[in-house]
Structure 1
Amino acid sequence: MNYWFKKALSRSDATKTILEVPRDAANLPQKNKEVMLVQDQTGERWKFTVAIKKDKRKRLQGQWGRFTKAHGLMEGVVVTFYFNPTRNLYSVEFERQLLSGWRITSSEGSYEKKLSQEDFTGTLDIPLTATYSLDENNQPIMVVWDQTDKHWEFQTTIGGGDGSKRMLEREKWLEFVNHNQLEVGETLKLRYFPTRSSYSAECEGPNRIPTLQLYH
């Protein structure tokens, strides 16, 4: 299998229907509008279309937008493409690392991150792709059940200047930290339950005794 190219997705790559291909990419089809069959790391296959601009720069279109949405890819995620000439098949792998240190742990919308000191001094940045509900005022909230079976509703806001971050309200997050006795270096895991439109939260660390997650 031959290496093709690696790229950290730009905001445009992750949010639009086009991937800008680096100039040094090898093994790329040379015909405009040629369709490539690309297999991802789950075994699913996608059809990407090569678009060649006047300056010879290349883009991938076709199902690229559907691919990024299906896997919850965001700005900063690293994608690597390969080409297998014997099978005439391309493959793509991505490192499930998101902004603010989050990792995608399933295609259903579950995430985890190792908590840093910054997470305890202010608010918590959460993935833009995380699922939210709306409260009675039509404002976005994140509903979470913790390991003590306590129910939390976090107000969320968009920030980061360019809208690249979604943040939990500071006071409620710090209350959550104290209630669950979270520590720097522990891993916070959020698992989404679509039937409940909410998450369960679990924290793992060297000094923490595993508990059975209760969920109703």
Structure 2
Amino acid sequence: MYFCFEKTLSMSDATKTILEVPRYATNLPEENKEVVVVKDQTGRKWVFEVAIKNDEKQKRLQGQWSGFTKAHGLMKGVIVKFYFNPIQNLYSVEFEGQLLSGWRITSRTGSFEKKLSEEDFTGTLDIPLTASYSLDENNQPIMVVWDQTGKYWEFQTTIGGGDGNKRLLEREKWLEFANHNQLEVGETLKLRYFPTRNSYSAEYEGHNRIPTLQLYH
């Protein structure tokens, strides 16, 4: 796996149809209009096109870039990192930072965290579309979570949000989960994905909460 480049997204990168690639980037095609396939942190593949300004040799990624940013709720300040696997002729991308949904991506392995607000308890909890690892191959909207008591939860989810970049948890089940785990406004909920189990583990942090041993399933 070879490193290509890292960039902190500008407002233009996050809201327009192209990503301006840093000039130091390596392991990218040198021909204009060449197509590259990029795998994101959920395993979904995206098709980008490399555009090169002949006068400046400045490279850009376009094609599905706009759909990519919307699907993951990327915004200004998010860090994206691109890598290239020459054996598979496949690129991969990681990102970390604050998402539009209020969640924060904390690692390459699909870990998310959010400080819970009053709105999360009066309505339902929304999660980024990126947190769709536990959907099956038929895209069934089920999210599987193990909490710190060892209880297993299955959440029905729906797509929502003004621009369709959120996945909403089933309200009654979410409130049952929050009550069972005694979640409060101001606490931080962390979700960590385990691909071997195709499910998440949940942990919580707050000023009044006694740390508990995380259960991995």
- Normalised to the residue count of structure 1, the TM-score between the two structures is 0.65
The residue number in structure 2 matching 1:51 is 52
**Structure 2 residue runs without a partner (length 5+):** 1-6, 25-30, 33-48, 81-93
Q: Please report how far the alpha carbon of residue 127 of structure 1 lies from its aligned counterpart in structure 2 after TM superposition.
A: 1.1
The residue number in structure 1 matching 2:180 is 179
The residue number in structure 1 matching 2:10 is 7
Q: Please report how far the alpha carbon of residue 80 of structure 1 lies from its aligned counterpart in structure 2 after TM superposition.
A: 7.1
Contact 1:103 1:113 in 2 (8 A): yes
Q: Please report how far the alpha carbon of residue 49 of structure 1 lies from its aligned counterpart in structure 2 after TM superposition.
A: 4.7
Contact 2:193 2:201 in 1 (8 A): yes
RMSD across aligned C-alpha pairs, in angstroms? 4.1
Alpha-carbon distance in 1 for matches of 2:111, 2:79: 22
Q: Quick one: which amino acid aligns to residue 204 of structure 2? A: C
Cα 1:110–1:5, aligned 2, differ >3 Å: closer, same or farther?
A: closer
Alpha-carbon distance in 2 for matches of 1:5, 1:126: 22
Contact 2:8 2:77 in 1 (8 A): no
- Normalised to the residue count of structure 2, the TM-score between the two structures is 0.64
Alpha-carbon distance in 2 for matches of 1:107, 1:159: 25
Higher Cα Rg: structure 1 or 2? 1
Contact 1:77 1:94 in 2 (8 A): no
Contact 1:78 1:95 in 2 (8 A): no
Q: Quick one: which amino acid aligns to residue 132 of structure 1? A: S
Contact 1:51 1:61 in 2 (8 A): no
The reply to whether residue 210 of structure 1 matches residue 211 of structure 2 is yes
Cα 1:27–1:164, aligned 2, differ >3 Å: closer, same or farther?
A: same
Contact 1:159 1:167 in 2 (8 A): yes
Contact 1:78 1:94 in 2 (8 A): no
Cα 1:176–1:26, aligned 2, differ >3 Å: closer, same or farther?
A: closer
